[in-house]
Amino acid sequence: MLKTAKKNIRQLSLSELEQYFETLGEKKFRAKQVYEWLWLKQAQSFEAMTNLSKDLRAKLAENFSLPALGVDATQYSADGTIKSRFRTQDGHLVEGVLIPTDERKTACVSSQIGCSLSCKFCATGYMDRKRNLEFDEIYDEVVLINQQCERVYNKKLSNIVFMGMGEPLLNYKNVLHAIERITSPDGLGMSPRRITVSTAGVAKMIKQLGDDKVRFKLALSLHAANDIKRNEIMPINETNNLKALIEALNYFYQKTENEITFEYILFKDFNDSLKDADELIKIYRQVPADLVNIIEYNPIDAARFEKPEEATVQQFMTYLERHKVNARLRRSRGKDIDAACGQLANKDQL
């Protein structure tokens, strides 16, 4: 007879744990103890739950699994950025990055193993999507990067951005559940205002975020300000065009009043002219966006794009500022270890 797989204990809510302990004839408070070990104390095994009897720990191990994410490899950049490759219990690899600055310590986390969107400038886009990450695996990414941050910088994480591998809004339930655990007082207790979810633009799910009254910030990876160019580099635009995205972002803001940011990577001779800047300004004025992040392009082997000359970048920035656009130039971190924006691809040299 085939043995059925044990249920992941972290998939149980507190009330479901309470029901389980009742069936064992155990006191209800045992459920709270286990729940604290799982989320507040981030235990990675039943053996670690030292205020439970050995018999009870053995019973939990017999009935449940606790598939924690593990660090497979780590790389340290000259600028202080740290990239980690994590291994899931079923043997998949996924990457996360710790980006330190004087003001903040940011975790860049992944939501999928690979990606299905095939954006032409992104290394992850050239990989297949293997599967979505479960909410507890996303939680583990943050826990492990936070532990790294405390070990290396003696500080806790201050911010989290969902800008790693995958499209967060195509793993909607797990991303929202992970954020609920990350922000919960009996989890990591982080403020949702310090979390940004970045999307390539899934209009229907942006509206869903509004309906769900989420409290975190939203970033749209724009990268081209007209449909022809955006279709060319981001195939998702063919089914989620700029008109639909503008409408969805306005709906999201109307429902939540949360901060919205545009992300715009500059590509040489593609979207870096003053005409492109004009088109970007038009979109900026149609959405209550707080900021436009202008991002340095980080070349990857698979793509034909190049980084513009510094003079072109400065001309573009000056033009935006002259037209009252709140724009910031985001310099890349971790380029020497392929940890910068668009470079995550589980390379073997880790």
Tokens of 31: 């459920």
Q: How far apart are CA 174 and CA 197, in angstroms?
A: 13
Catalytic residue chosen out of the listed positions 16, 47, 95, 259 = 95
Helix intervals (H) in the chain: 14-23, 29-39, 54-63, 135-153, 172-183, 203-211, 227-233, 242-256, 274-284, 310-322
DSSP string, 62-73: HHEE----EEEE
> Is residue 119 marked as binding?
yes
Is 341 catalytic? The answer is yes
Q: How many CA atoms lie within 13 A of 179 on its CB side?
A: 28
- On whether the CB atoms of residues 272 and 312 are closer than 8 A, the answer is yes
Q: Is 96 helix (H, G, I), strand (E, B) or coil?
A: strand
Burial of 348: CB neighbours in 10 Å, binned 0-12, 13-18, 19+: exposed
> Is residue 171 marked as binding?
no
Residues 182-206 as b or e (16 or more Cβ within 10 Å = b):
bbeeebbebebebbbbbbbbbbebb
> Is residue 223 marked as binding?
yes
Q: How far apart are CA 163 and CA 138, in angstroms?
A: 12
Catalytic residue chosen out of the listed positions 134, 149, 263, 341 = 341
> Is residue 222 marked as binding?
yes
Walk across the sheet containing 260-265 and list its strands: 70-76, 82-87, 93-100, 105-108, 159-162, 195-199, 217-221, 260-265, 291-295, 327-330
Give catalytic residue positions: 95, 341
Residue list for the binding site for S-adenosyl-L-methionine: 166-167, 198, 221-223, 298
Residue list for the binding site for [4Fe-4S] cluster: 115, 119, 122
Residue list for the binding site: 115, 119, 122, 166-167, 198, 221-223, 298
